[in-house]
Amino acid sequence: MYIHKHTFGQSLYLVTLSLLVLGILAATGTWVYMLSLPGDTGKSVVASGITTTNPQDKAASQNVTTQYMHAFLTHQYSVMWSLLHPQTQAVWTNEETFASYWNIRLQEYTLHDFTIGQAKSLSSWTNPETMTVYSNVQQLPVSLQLDLKVQPRHTNNVPPEYVHPSQLFQNLPFIVQHVDAKNTTTTGHWLVLNAGPADLEAPILPPTTLSAKTVNVPILMYHHISDVPTHNALDKSLTVTSALFNQQLDSLKTRGYSTITFNQLFDALYYNGPLPTKPIILTFDDGYDDAYAVAYPALVKHGFSGMFYIITGKVGWQGQMTWQQMSEMLSHGMQMGSHTIHHVDMGQVYINSQEQAQQELQISRSTMQQRLGIVIQQFCYPAGEPFRHGSLYLRRAIVALLAADGYVGATTDPGMTGVTQNSQHPFVLLRLRIDGRDVLDNFIARLP
């Protein structure tokens, strides 16, 4: 049930435009940018412990949410800044960089209105960007209605999110916390921790024209984090012991690395969004149960987030995570991405059946969105294919399918390796494979 609606900009400036095709020639081939399919819910499961909301808190949290979203629609960035929690402000260099980011973030879109749902109290919420845990917060689902200012003439090969961008921005969690006043003569006030549709963690809408930009962000690739004995070279390479993993995390902490989300990476590549001094992303392939039992608690202990790529057809199998476990991880700052339904070589599947290849991408994404209640925009190529051994034709074809099915980024499996991420190659995000046979000194030597 919606309790508030604000209307802004009733008219839409419609201009015909030739077909939007972003063909970019890269070392790995030309890719075409197409975005997510209609029907995404945009819901997010990033909080835990629902409690009863008293009427005063409910009214106050609705009021600050309305103020913030109204300021967002009317480009009053100083008002937005004044309503942010100090620790959220600290992500930015200053108010000027905050205003500059939001001035360009949705500059290609007309923002029409927003709706706010019922507030609910949460005992805790974890910020996935900093892994800071906040207690006694209010969460309100906020939806944003927006359209491209310049509409495409045709829609057959146009990114779906360019045609229906509002569908990504439905019921995104807006998180506020009551901050006590420093003096005893006032009662304190509510401040914004996460601004839902107007937040760095809002779904990515890539610009229609991509500028060239690179950032150095190492993306580490793990499989098993386990103390189960291994008996062959492949298993030994894929398995990092719990002791070594914790030593690696200790080393990252000591050297000043901060984990970031994939949204932060794309915000930086596309819109000059803020990054910590030494950003890093930790990824875990295949959705093994040791990711939940071993990797996840170690990450939380060290204040790190992680991205877990899930084979949806194997969820709940022996040795694999369950949906409930994944939901718990999401509520404590972890991220989830697709790794197909069956962990198949996407290039070979495409050769055999283009329809089956599309289903591997579409169904895995839609299943995760339905079961976890989040927007899935990131993908990982099983065994790195077709980017390890596939032809240029197959690479282009799979990237086109990914973009058409609503993904905005994909990570490779070395083969191709490195730490420099390129805005013009978002479906070829490079990773560093962590080998369980390496000693700690070798791990440290590979870091920038």
pLDDT tens for residues 31-75?
A: 333 333 333 333 334 456 666 678 888 999 999 999 999 999 999
Residue 203 is assigned to a structural domain of this protein: no
Exposed, middle or buried, 188 (CB in 10 Å: 0-12/13-18/19+)?
exposed
How many CB atoms neighbour CB 320 within 10 A? Answer: 18
Give the pLDDT score at 43: 37
Residue 230 token pair:
């291994």
More confident residue, 51 or 3: 51
Same domain? For 151 and 230 the reply is: no
d(CA 317, CA 390): 30
Does residue 127 carry a pLDDT above 80? yes
Does residue 88 carry a pLDDT above 70? yes
How many angstroms separate the Cα of 444 from the Cα of each of 4, 223, 251, 301, 407? Answer: 52, 18, 8, 20, 32
Give the pLDDT score at 325: 98
Give the pLDDT score at 9: 40
Sign of CA dihedral 202, 204, 210, 212: positive
Residue 397 token pair:
């074809």
More confident residue, 76 or 36: 76
List all residues 6 or more positions away from 174 whose beta carbon is below 8 Å from its beta carbon.
65, 68, 69, 116, 139, 140, 141, 142, 192, 194, 195, 196
d(CA 311, CA 284): 12
* Cα 198–chain centre separation: 14
Give the pLDDT score at 161: 73
Give the pLDDT score at 162: 77
Q: Do 264 and 200 meet the contact criterion of CB atoms below 8 Å apart?
A: yes
Q: Do 214 and 26 meet the contact criterion of CB atoms below 8 Å apart?
A: no
Same domain? For 224 and 129 the reply is: no
Residue 167 is assigned to a structural domain of this protein: yes
Over the chain, what is the mean pLDDT? Answer: 88
Residue 164 is assigned to a structural domain of this protein: yes
Secondary structure, 3-state, 234-296 = HHHHHEECHHHHHHHHHHHHHCCCEECCHHHHHHHHHHCCCCCCCEEEEEEECCEHHHHHHHH
d(CA 131, CA 126): 6
Same domain? For 21 and 167 the reply is: yes
Does residue 360 carry a pLDDT above 90? yes
Which range, of 5-9, 135-139, 330-334, averages the lowest pLDDT?
Answer: 5-9
What is the arithmetic mean of pLDDT over 308-337?
A: 98
Q: Which of 213, 156, 147 is nearest to 21 (CA)?
A: 156
Sign of CA dihedral 74, 143, 42, 308: positive
Give the pLDDT score at 12: 33
> pLDDT tens across 378-418, in order?
999 999 999 999 999 999 999 999 998 999 999 999 878 99
Q: What is the CATH number of the domain that holds 178?
A: 3.10.450
Give the pLDDT score at 37: 32
Residue 179 is assigned to a structural domain of this protein: yes
Same domain? For 333 and 194 the reply is: no
Q: Which of 144, 128, 122 is nearest to 50 (CA)?
A: 122
Residue 220 token pair:
């580490």
Same domain? For 290 and 193 the reply is: no
Same domain? For 261 and 334 the reply is: yes
Give the pLDDT score at 30: 33
320, β-bridge pairs: 288
Residue 209 is assigned to a structural domain of this protein: no
Same domain? For 61 and 192 the reply is: yes
Give the pLDDT score at 183: 53
Residue 232 is assigned to a structural domain of this protein: yes
Same domain? For 96 and 193 the reply is: yes
Residue 305 is assigned to a structural domain of this protein: yes
Q: Which amino acid is at 171?
A: N
d(CA 214, CA 244): 31
What are the backbone angles phi and psi of residue 181, rounded to the nearest 5°?
A: -70, 150
Structural domain range at position 242: 214-445
Give the pLDDT score at 35: 33
Same domain? For 261 and 194 the reply is: no
Residue where one domain finishes, among candidates 143, 163, 198? 198
* Cα 260–chain centre separation: 10
Q: Do 399 and 411 meet the contact criterion of CB atoms below 8 Å apart?
A: no
Same domain? For 228 and 371 the reply is: yes
> pLDDT tens across 21-43, in order?
333 333 333 333 333 333 333 33
Residue 420 is assigned to a structural domain of this protein: yes
Residue where one domain finishes, among candidates 167, 198, 229? 198
Q: Do 137 and 175 meet the contact criterion of CB atoms below 8 Å apart?
A: yes
Give the pLDDT score at 407: 94
Split into its structural domains, the chain has a count of: 2
Same domain? For 174 and 249 the reply is: no
Q: Do 17 and 152 meet the contact criterion of CB atoms below 8 Å apart?
A: yes
Give the pLDDT score at 415: 79
Dihedral, CA of residue 124, residue 129, residue 131 and residue 132, to nearest 10: -60
**Rg from Cα positions in the chain:** 22
> pLDDT tens across 245-282, in order?
999 999 999 999 999 999 999 999 999 999 999 999 99
Give the pLDDT score at 187: 55
Q: Which of 102, 60, 52 is nearest to 77 (CA)?
A: 102
Give the pLDDT score at 51: 66
Give the pLDDT score at 5: 52
Sign of CA dihedral 164, 168, 173, 176: negative
**Is the pTM for the entire model greater than 0.85?**
yes
What is the arithmetic mean of pLDDT over 126-142?
A: 96
Same domain? For 188 and 224 the reply is: no
